[in-house]
Amino acid sequence: MIKAAYLRVYVPGTAEDEAKPFEARLREVSDYGLMSESLNDGVLSATWNDTAYICPRNPRLRLLEGLLAFRNAYPGLTAELLIPEEVAERAAIELEALQDRQPDAKSHILSSPWHVPLRWFSAFDPEERSVVERGSGSDVLYRTTVAEAHGRLTRALVILQSAGFQDAVIDQAQELSNWIDGFEDTDMLELDYGGVAELFSDGSLALDETAADIQASLYALEAGNLDKASDHYGKAAARWAHAQSLTYMN
């Protein structure tokens, strides 16, 4: 089973506000041939800073967007092998029809198989991290407001652009910032290691300082200290090297 990490936006509210609360993390084979979570609609719920929040799942929308994004991430023959053109075309047609029917529909959840993309950490302060216990062991959560996250991502973009990073790096950071910008400032952003946490020991999770290293790398870049920036980023990348390699192995 594919292990995944999640970046979620929660809006103020309770599960009772929705007709179909989320009941279980089931998995099924979709009609696009991908392993997916249950395609039943519903919500996730959370309480943070004494406020109740819900996260709409919009599973069909996320399936279609994720399939097309996955194909677009790989050029040429690789894309065709992973997602045949006829499948991508069918998904694009369905996605367009869904958006026509529900123009306000948007994904509240980003998922990443086998690892947490390092750019996700740039939205959080290290102090916003917590280690929680789940049935299968420890998990790591980061939570902040959309306003705080957007401010950090905007700053990160300015730093990366000023440092002369390649367009591919800038574009990925910009895409994340654009997604965050589509929500209200008072919404809550959550990074959940999810199943990816199982790839690490409880001790490794307790000592995980990825967000601190990413923020330190950005501060060093801003100050023009390229050696220090590279050192902190290298520590973060090394921490996730094994998990990220599983993405390509699978």
Instruction: Reply yes or no on whether the pLDDT at 16 is more than 60.
Output: no
pLDDT in tens, 56-68: 877 677 677 767 6
DSSP-derived secondary structure for 107-163:
--EEEEESS--GGGGGGS-GGGEEEEEETTEEEEEEEEEHHHHHHHHHHHHHHHHHT
Q: What is the 3-state secondary structure (H, E, C) of 44-61?
A: EEEEECCEEEEEECCHHH
Residue 197 token pair: 């946490």
Q: Which residue has the higher pLDDT, 37 or 132?
A: 132
Cβ neighbours of residue 83 closer than 8 Å, sequence gap 6 or more:
67, 70, 71
Whole-angstrom Cα distance, residue 63 to residue 35?
A: 10
Nearest CA to 141 out of 29, 10, 240, 7 is that of 7
pLDDT value at position 53?
A: 94
Residue 88 token pair: 């991508």
Q: Backbone phi, then psi, for 170, in 5-degree steps?
A: -60, -45
Q: pTM above 0.85?
A: no
| Domain residue spans of the chain | 4-57+108-249
